[in-house]
Structure 1
Amino acid sequence: MTAAPWEFFDLNVLRTARITPTFVRVTLGGPSLARFASGGRDQRFKLFLPRPGAREISVPRGEGAENWWPAWQRMDPDERAVMRTYTVRERRRDPGELDIDFALHGDTGPASRWAATAHPGDPVTVLGPVEEDNPGVDFRPPADATAILLAADATALPAVAGILAWLPPGTPAKVWIEVPHAADRQELPTKAGAEITWLCLDEMDGRPAAPLADAVRATAPPGDTDTVYAWLAGEAGTVKTLRRHLVDARGIDRRRIAFCGYWRRGTTEDDLIQQAIAAEAAA
C-alpha cells in the first residue's frame, strides 16, 4: 500500500493579527510542523478545532491518514473535532511557522468564531501534506499555458496570493478579486505580469447581484483562448456561472479551467459535509 501524502499535525497558535477588516491571520507552530511540505499555490488542508467548551481535539489518529475520512465519519458527531478546509497563506521554515488567513463573517460559523478569539497557546490539529506534489493542489496549468485567468471572492484570496507568488516571472495574468471592503486590499507579491482588479463591495452603488461574474464577463480573457488557463474559486453558484461563461461564450476548453466552490450561499459547511456523507452512503 502506498503511504498517504498526509499526516496529522498537532500545532499551537503562536500569534494572531487583524490584517484587514475582513481577515485575521493566525500563525501556527510546533515541532511536528517540520514535516509539513506545502506544494504552494492553492495548497489546501483540513483544519480540526476543538468543540465549543472543549480543549481536546478528537480526530481518528489510529486509523492512519489514508483512512481518516471514513474513520472521522464513524465518530460521534457530538464528540469529533470541528473540521474545515483552508488554504496555506504562507509556510516558513526558519522559523517553522504556518499562516492561515481567515475571512471573518461574524458569529455564524465555528471557524470564524475560533479565529476571532484565538490566543497564543491554543491547540489546533491540521491534516496536511508531507509531500510537495499532493492532491491538495488544484492550480496545475498545462505546459502550453501562455496566460492565466484568476477569479475569486474573499474566501479564496489566500489561494490567489499563493498562486501569484508561485507564477513564473513575466507570466501574463488577469486577476479579479471580490472583497467586502476597500480596506481588504492586500499587497500580493508576484513576479508575474499580473493585472489585478479589486472589486470592493463597499465602493459599489446598489451592490450588484454578481459583481465578480459581471466583471469577468465584461473583459476578454488574457492571451489566446486556446492556451489560457483559468482558475475560479469562491461561492459555488458564482463559480459555476463563470465556468459556463468561459466555456460557452469565450470558447475556452473546459479541461483548461480549474474550479472549486469554497462555499455555497445558504448552506453551511456542516450541511455540505452531511450531504457528502449521505451521497457516499447512497452510492
Structure 2
Amino acid sequence: MPHGFDGAVLRVLGAKEHALTVRGVTRLAPHFTRVHFDAPTLFQQATDSPAAWIRLWIEDPMTGVDFQRAYTIAAADVSEARLEVDFLLHEPAGPASAWASSASAGDRVVAQSLGSTSFTPAPDTSGLVLIGDAAGVPAINSILRSLDPQMEVRVLLERSHEEDELIPLASHPGAVVSWVPRDGSGSLALAAAEILSPGTQVWAVGETGSLKALRPAVKERAAGNRKSIHVQAYWIEGRAMGKERRV
C-alpha cells in the first residue's frame, strides 16, 4: 500500500505495518460492534496489556484517503494471532464507524503499533476510579479483567444516549458502576467529585471538554502523584480525531 507523510514518519520511528483480516463481526449493542481479526504479524510488535491500543488505517472508498484512528485491543489470543476491536457506531459516521458498520469476513485493514499506553496499578493507593464514556468502554473492560478480584473499584461512565448503557461491561466482584447523563462538558466532573478521595488512583478517558472540566476535580480531590492519575482524550465533540494520508 502506498504511504503518505504520517505513515512514513511512523515507519521511520519503527512502526511496521501489519495486515489484519476480518474473521467475523458481532453486534454487542445497537450502536456498538466487535470486529474479530486474524493478525499474523501484529503481536511481533504490539502487546496485549490492559488498555493497550493500536493504530488502524481505514480507507475512505469515495476519496481514496486512508484515515488513521486509534483503537483499544478489546481482547486478544496472542498464541493464535487473533484480536478483537470494538467500534462505537455513530451518526454522522466517520470513516472508521462507517467501515465497521459494514465490515464482513475477508475485509482487510492495516494496523501499526507505536506509542501505545497501558494501565498499571499504582502503588500505595487507597482505591481505583475508572472514568469514561461509551468510547472508553473497551479500555475500561480490559482494565477490569486485569484487576485483582479483591480490589475495590468505582466505574463512572458518561452516557450521551440511553442505549450506551446496553454496551456490555466486564464483570468484576469489587466494581461499583454508575452512569451519568451527559449534560454539557461539566456533568462528568460534578459526578466524579462525589466519589473521588485522597489517595485514589484515577484513570480517565473521554471527550476533551469533559476531561478539561474533570482535571481540577481530580487534582483537588484525588491529590495523587503523576503515576496515579491518567487523563487522556479519546475524542472531541464536533471534530474528527486522527491523521489521514493520500493513497
TM over 0.5: yes
1:83 shift after superposition: 0.7
Cα contact 1:91–1:98 (8 A) shared by 2 = yes
Runs of 4+ aligned residues of structure 1 deviating over 6 Å after TM superposition are none
Kindly provide the CA deviation profile for residues 74-100 of structure 1, in whole angstroms up to 9, marking residues without a partner as x. Answer: xxxx76521111111001135432111
Which residue in the other structure is 1:232 paired with?
204
Residue 165 of structure 1, aligned match among 145, 159, 164 = 145
- TM-score, normalized by length of structure 1? 0.72
Instruction: Please give the root-mean-square deviation of Cα atoms over the aligned residues, in Å.
Output: 2.5
Specify which of 145, 148, 152 is matched with residue 128 of structure 2. 148
Aligned identity (percent) is 28
Q: Where does residue 178 of structure 2 map in the other structure?
A: 197
- Aligned equivalent of 1:105, options 65, 90, 96: 90
Q: Which runs of 5+ in 2 are unaligned?
A: 1-11
Matched, 1:221 2:196: yes
1:40 positional shift = 1.7
2:214 to 242, 246, 250: 242
Q: Structure 1 residues 245, 194: closer, same or farther in 2, change over 3 A?
A: same
Gaps of 5+ in 1: 54-77, 130-134, 202-206, 275-283
Which structure shows the bigger proportion of residues in strand conformation? 2
* Residue 237 of structure 2 is aligned to residue 252 of structure 1: no
Taking the aligned partners of 2:107 and 2:167, their CA distance within structure 1 comes to: 29
Residue 91 of structure 1 aligns to which amino acid in structure 2?
A: A
Give a deviation string over 1:206-236, Cα, whole Å, max 9, x none. x63344223212x2326xx13x210110001
CA contact (8 A) 1:138 1:258 kept: no
Cα contact 1:49–1:125 (8 A) shared by 2: yes
In structure 2, distance between residues paired with 1:122 and 1:86: 17
- State the Cα distance separating 1:5 from its structure 2 match: 6.9
The offset of 1:51, in angstroms, is: 3.0
Q: Which structure is larger by alpha-carbon Rg, 1 or 2? A: 1
1: CA distance, partners of 2:183 / 2:65: 40
TM-score (norm 2): 0.82
Corresponding residue for residue 70 of structure 2: 85
Contact kept, 8 Å, 1:247 with 1:254, in 2: the verdict is no
1:123 aligns with 2:108: yes
